[in-house]
Amino acid sequence: MNKISLVLIALALISQIKCQNEEVESDFQAYNKWRSKNKRVFLNQEEETYRQLIFFENLNQIKAHQNNTEATYTVSLNKFSDYSDEEFEQIILNKHIQRFQPDIQEEQQPKENLRKAVSYPDSVDWRNTGALSPVQDQGWCGSCSAFGTAGVLESFHYLRYNYMVKFSEQQLLDCARQAGFDTHGCNGAFQQDYFKYAIKYGIVSAASYPYVGYQTACKNTSNLPKYFPQSFKFIRSNIPDIKSAISQGPISVTVDASNWRSYQGGIFNRCSRNPQLNHAVIAVGYDAQGNYIIKNSWGPYWGDKGYITVSAQNDCGVLRSAIQVVS
């Protein structure tokens, strides 16, 4: 189906439902309010109509969720509300995570079979401790891995030296590929490659190399102060090891965020039973029920002030390829 016929169908549907009832009236009010709040501008009427139709579909899903009295989490309109699931996956989610498997050979795990039992507290929450920079916004760019990596390095640096430096996602985005790593700018990357880049070349502050939201030519950073992390490791995919790692500091994790788009708060439990990893984020805690607290990079107005809590029983793949900075 081409774009014009889509738009014609959209127009027909909208004018059809327009006649129906007051609920539609309130949907249009919701749309207008949302649109001015989100400062949407469109190229032409066709585009506006197309986006409006998607908005109404999303609004319906949100209403259906709000009708579900058994839901453990809430949803709301947000900046993604006039994008389709497909567009959301294409633009925001990371297309290059799934292809990679953790480099298990690089693990520096103890070789002996009898490891000492790991211990960890009942709950951990690194929010409001100073160890996390403010929630960032990757914008319309699949750069989650750069945010996941820079954020974990910030926390590690903070916990070691007791002062916060916001590190540069843009440097990772621009420079890792030029340095020979298999990273793809706004089309995604695996965090492992960004950690390796930072270990080899150092990472500069975001103040000296600010985020612009698209890939640019790698700037010459030779005169800028840099932080050189020394090593990282993959964490074994089991709950005690992950919790123990989180209790030492925020860690890098990869999740299936396909259904996260409208999340607002509460315990999220609608990930696929077979998660397709497509988004890099930071695990910053867990509660006494074992639910994981995650720092996202979709800005502070998404979710719970930029964070999401995912269910211990439906964890979106959090355990699968977690990375901890070691030194």
Catalytic residues, which ones? 144, 279, 296
Q: Which is nearer to ligand NAG, 48 or 57 (CB)?
A: 57
Q: Which is nearer to ligand NAG, 7 or 53 (CB)?
A: 53
CB of 102 vs ligand NAG, minimal distance in Å:
33
Structure tokens at 295: 């720092």
Decide if 79 contacts 299 (C-beta within 8 A). Answer: yes
Q: Residues 161-190: x/- map of binding to ligand NAG (CB under 6 A)?
A: ------------------------------
How many residues sit close enough to ligand NAG to count as binding (CB under 6 A)? 7
Binding of ligand NAG at residue 222 (CB under 6 A)? yes
Q: Residues 69, 113, 223, 230: which binds ligand NAG (CB under 6 A)?
A: 223
CB of 22 vs ligand NAG, minimal distance in Å:
12
Q: Which is nearer to ligand NAG, 181 or 234 (CB)?
A: 181
Cα 162 from Cα 110, distance rounded (Å): 29
CB of 258 vs ligand NAG, minimal distance in Å:
21
Cα 165 from Cα 168, distance rounded (Å): 10
Q: For the chain, report the end-to-end CA distance as a whole number of angstroms.
A: 54
Structure tokens at 224: 């800028």
Segment contacting ligand NAG by CB under 6 A, of 41-49, 217-225, 268-276, 293-301:
217-225
Q: Residues 15, 113, 220, 274: which binds ligand NAG (CB under 6 A)?
A: 220
Q: How far is CA 168 from CA 141, 148, 210, in A?
A: 15, 11, 6
Rounded (5°) CA angle 314-318-321: 145
Q: CB count, 10 Å around CB of 201?
A: 17
Q: CB count, 10 Å around CB of 206?
A: 19
Q: Which is nearer to ligand NAG, 18 or 63 (CB)?
A: 63
Give me the amino acid identity at 166. K
Q: Which is nearer to ligand NAG, 59 or 267 (CB)?
A: 59
Q: CB count, 10 Å around CB of 78?
A: 20
Q: Residues 19-58: x/- map of binding to ligand NAG (CB under 6 A)?
A: ----------------------------------------
Residues 51-80 that bind ligand NAG (CB under 6 A): 60, 63-64, 67
**How many helices and strands, by DSSP H and E, does the chain display?**
8, 9
Buried b (16+ CB within 10 A) or exposed e, 180-195: ebebbbbebbbbbbbb
Residues that bind ligand NAG (CB under 6 A): 60, 63-64, 67, 220, 222-223
